[in-house]
Structure 1
Amino acid sequence: MVFDDFPFWLRFAHFINIVFIILLIRSGVEILSALPKLYWNDHARPGTEWIKFTKKKFTPNFKKRTWISLEEEESFSSWIALPGHKNLGIGRHWHFLSIIFWISNGAAYYILLFTSGEWQRLIPTSWSILPEAINDVMLYASFQFNLPGNPYDSIQQLTYFSVVFLLGPFMIATGAAMSPSIDARFPRYPKIFGGRQAARSLHFLGMIGFVLFIIVHVAMVILSNFSENMGNIFLGQATSFGIAVGIFALFVLVVVAVNVWATGISLKNPRLVQRKLGAIIDPIRQTLFNKVVSRQQFSKSDVTPFFRVNGYPPDTKEYENLMRNGFSDWRLKVLGLVEKPLELSLVDLYALKKEIQITEHSCIQGWTAIGEWGGVSMNHLLSKCKPLPQANYVVLYSYQFTDGDQFYEAIPIELAKHPQTILAYEMNGDLLDIPHGAPLRLRVETQLGYKMVKWIKSIELVDDYKNIGMGQGGHREDHMYYDLGAGI
């Protein structure tokens, strides 16, 4: 088949792809900055990382003081990270928005590719391409770049095929393996890649692959028939050198402008970005993940030897007094839109049916750990207080105060009723220790760790969370611009 030029839809998809690929890479770097270390094992023990992008030494010693994983976070420059400077919440919003448009653009590209016959540009149809590619490598090595092809030489065809049909799907697959909801619902899926941490490492290597491809691709466009290449991909026909330079400059300017705008508005008005991007992301997230039920159940031999901590324990006099008395005076209050408000001691909770589960904790920073949790099913507790029909959310309040405000998180009542949503008072067969949330903490296994409130003081059932805190659905959402739903 002879190709005269590139159709408009292909040229448009090519432009959209590069815009969102760069947004994905930069926001991905922001996500990496929260835990700038990569592991091959889900225990993610400090010191076992295979590569790190930090000079900090994380040597937790709880006998001296409580170390938290946020101390591992780095502040990456806005030149490489979107938006940079420890803005994980906003970085995630940009990453997930870019994923939506990148996948949508890719899906449209695939459909048009196979319904138009354009697939023959990319997919090799003969094994003869392999010896041809070896010959072309030798020519490239001698700085001969204008090789014959229709429209690509063998090296270009193999490279584009690999990027479009192998690297792209690989990035989607490894990204999905880092989703707590997907991992909880399909616990065998991340094992395909060696676990969530291995998937995270592979995802990073895939990102490096994209970066290298972009660099080489742009270099080859410039070195090999620059005028013809720029004219074909933007105009559908060859053009003069001057016009080609103008097109290239305009293309670079648009990409830079988009990134400068995204970075600037994210740093100056993060709440606006959180709301606007969330309005696009949240409906899709809810459709895909809200009904997911955790099916995790690891064995005791899988339990992580060192389970990181995030969040400093409460330092209020109220909590310190409870701690001194071994929490014998502690009472859990369940109130709000319920028929029967409850006030339960630890002894009362111990008397209820005990649930035990061994599950993997996924922190929003990127680390994972496996623990055995024992406690009371949230659904069982709700059956005792009898929520009113207008109760839509369960709000859990902590004894912890951060940035002067009480820590809290809201979860949909449907999520609270999931089989593996429990109020845990035991960890690995022992009573919860202080760093991990004593006397009681939430475990909701389809979500990221920041939703799992520790040092629980009370539970309130409400119709909406908009009048609580800053109205975003949780302390991290209020102050760090995280997502209300932490399933992706």
Structure 2
Amino acid sequence: MDDATALPATKGPLIYRQSIWTRVTHWIWAICLFFLLLTGLQIFNAHPSLYIGQQSGFEFDNAILEIGAYNTPDGPVGRTTIFGQQFDTTGVLGMSGSAERPSFVAFPPALTIPSFRDLGTGRVIHFFFAWLFVGTMFIWFLASFINGHIKRDIIVRPADLAGVPRDVVDHATLKFKHGRTYGPLQRIAYFGVFFILFPLIVLTGLTMSPGMNAAWPWLLDLFGGRQTARTIHFGVMLLLVTFFIIHIVMVLAAGPINELRSMITGWYRASPGTPTTEGDKP
């Protein structure tokens, strides 16, 4: 028997997996979300509380989250209150920095842009990257609809739901399958991001704008008021940060060189036996 046929291939084929539209929008989103997160925390520090309802103020007790610094007999402390439950978060939230130069803000300066209190600059940068984010999202949806990326890789099918238990086991045991398209967990995650989280964070952001309230007053009714929209906006941001952390962990576990090559050049090293062209049988 010929050795070439007796030994299985050690490497799968290189396939063109990511289009130029997917790659460019991916990296623009990464930049936008970085600046949106840090400037968003700068804006949040101006009023570090979240509410449910149309209004907030001294006459209302509808805060679900409050972060601040408070004086105690032992000195100032950072305190975070979530649904009435108080937690000492000194050094992290509410009060951070050194004992000689404490910073009495909700999120520490290292997590905000600018790093000092400057709401005006934070808002300008935030809105710039917000509109860049929206424009990039429109381009991605249009290109991905035309080239079939949404139908092929993002839409969750019944077979994907049936394959979730097995995919969970494979991820837990670090047995990754590198195919032409995404696995069940990837599809569900990306569908949730593109069709739920991204639209939510954009629409709730628009709901907080007085100008948009005048143009589209139905947004206030849709989200139950500006304060509720702000709370949802903050919550979606936390979900996107969680997704980003899991995304980075999965990239490192699945093979960072291969994953990065895919998002830079479009070419991806698939598992042995993967068809080299779409529609071929392995």
Offset, 1:115: 1.3
Among 168, 184, 192, the residue aligned to 1:154: 184
Among 62, 76, 87, the residue aligned to 1:48: 62
Q: Any conservation in 1 of the 2:16–2:268 contact (CA below 8 Å)?
A: no
Answer yes or no: is 1:199 the counterpart of 2:213.
no
Residue equivalent to 1:227? 257
Work out which structure has the larger RCO, using CA pairs closer than 8 Å and 6 or more positions apart in sequence: 2
- The secondary structure found in structure 2 opposite 1:150 is coil
- The secondary structure found in structure 1 opposite 2:163 is helix
Among 116, 121, 124, the residue aligned to 1:85: 116
Residue equivalent to 1:252? none
Letter aligned with residue 27 of structure 1: T
Distance 1:79-1:155 versus aligned 2 partners, 3 A rule: same
Letter aligned with residue 180 of structure 1: P
- The secondary structure found in structure 2 opposite 1:50 is strand
Residue equivalent to 1:25? 37
Residues of 2 paired with 1:35 and 1:145: CA distance? 45
Answer yes or no: is 1:143 the counterpart of 2:136.
no
Letter aligned with residue 20 of structure 1: C
Distance 1:49-1:139 versus aligned 2 partners, 3 A rule: same
Offset, 1:184: 3.4
Answer yes or no: is 1:170 the counterpart of 2:205.
no
- The secondary structure found in structure 2 opposite 1:202 is helix
Q: Deviations over 1:340-376 (max 9, x none)?
A: xxxxxxxxxxxxxxxxxxxxxxxxxxxxxxxxxxxxx
Structural mapping, 1:370-381, within 5 Å: none
Letter aligned with residue 95 of structure 1: H
Residue equivalent to 1:212? 242
Q: Deviations over 1:166-215 (max 9, x none)?
A: 11011111111111122234444212111110100000000001111111
Q: Any conservation in 2 of the 1:38–1:197 contact (CA below 8 Å)?
A: yes
Residue equivalent to 1:290? none
Structural mapping, 1:258-297, within 5 Å: none
Residues of 1 paired with 2:152 and 2:202: CA distance? 23
Residues of 1 paired with 2:66 and 2:152: CA distance? 40
For the aligned residues, what is the CA RMSD? 2.1
> Which structure carries more helix by proportion?
2
Offset, 1:124: 2.6
- The secondary structure found in structure 1 opposite 2:110 is coil
Q: Deviations over 1:135-178 (max 9, x none)?
A: 312333x3334135432111001111111121101111111111
Answer yes or no: is 1:103 the counterpart of 2:134.
yes
Tell me the percent identity: 27
Residue equivalent to 1:463? none
Offset, 1:111: 1.2
Among 116, 130, 154, the residue aligned to 2:147: 116
Letter aligned with residue 203 of structure 2: A
Residue equivalent to 1:366? none
Letter aligned with residue 50 of structure 1: I
Residues of 2 paired with 1:177 and 1:145: CA distance? 43
Residue equivalent to 1:339? none
- The secondary structure found in structure 2 opposite 1:54 is strand
The runs of at least 4 consecutive aligned structure 1 residues that moved more than 6 Å come to none
Q: Any conservation in 2 of the 1:42–1:196 contact (CA below 8 Å)?
A: yes
Larger of the two Rg values belongs to structure: 1
Structural mapping, 1:360-439, within 5 Å: none
Q: Deviations over 1:9-65 (max 9, x none)?
A: 2211111110011111111111100000000023313453111221248xxxxxxxx
Q: Deviations over 1:445-476 (max 9, x none)?
A: xxxxxxxxxxxxxxxxxxxxxxxxxxxxxxxx
Structural mapping, 1:311-326, within 5 Å: none
Letter aligned with residue 175 of structure 1: G
Residue equivalent to 1:4? 16
Q: TM-score, normalising length from structure 2?
A: 0.72
Q: TM-score, normalising length from structure 1?
A: 0.43
Residue equivalent to 1:451? none
Distance 1:89-1:149 versus aligned 2 partners, 3 A rule: same
Residues of 2 paired with 1:170 and 1:176: CA distance? 10
Distance 1:5-1:150 versus aligned 2 partners, 3 A rule: closer
List alignment gaps of at least 5 residues for structure 1.
Answer: 58-72, 240-488
Distance 1:168-1:125 versus aligned 2 partners, 3 A rule: closer
Q: Deviations over 1:285-325 (max 9, x none)?
A: xxxxxxxxxxxxxxxxxxxxxxxxxxxxxxxxxxxxxxxxx
Residue equivalent to 1:426? none
Letter aligned with residue 112 of structure 2: A
Q: Any conservation in 1 of the 2:69–2:105 contact (CA below 8 Å)?
A: no
Q: Any conservation in 2 of the 1:76–1:85 contact (CA below 8 Å)?
A: no
Q: Any conservation in 1 of the 2:114–2:121 contact (CA below 8 Å)?
A: yes
Matched length:
221
Residue equivalent to 2:219? 189
Residue equivalent to 1:127? 158
Residues of 2 paired with 1:238 and 1:123: CA distance? 18
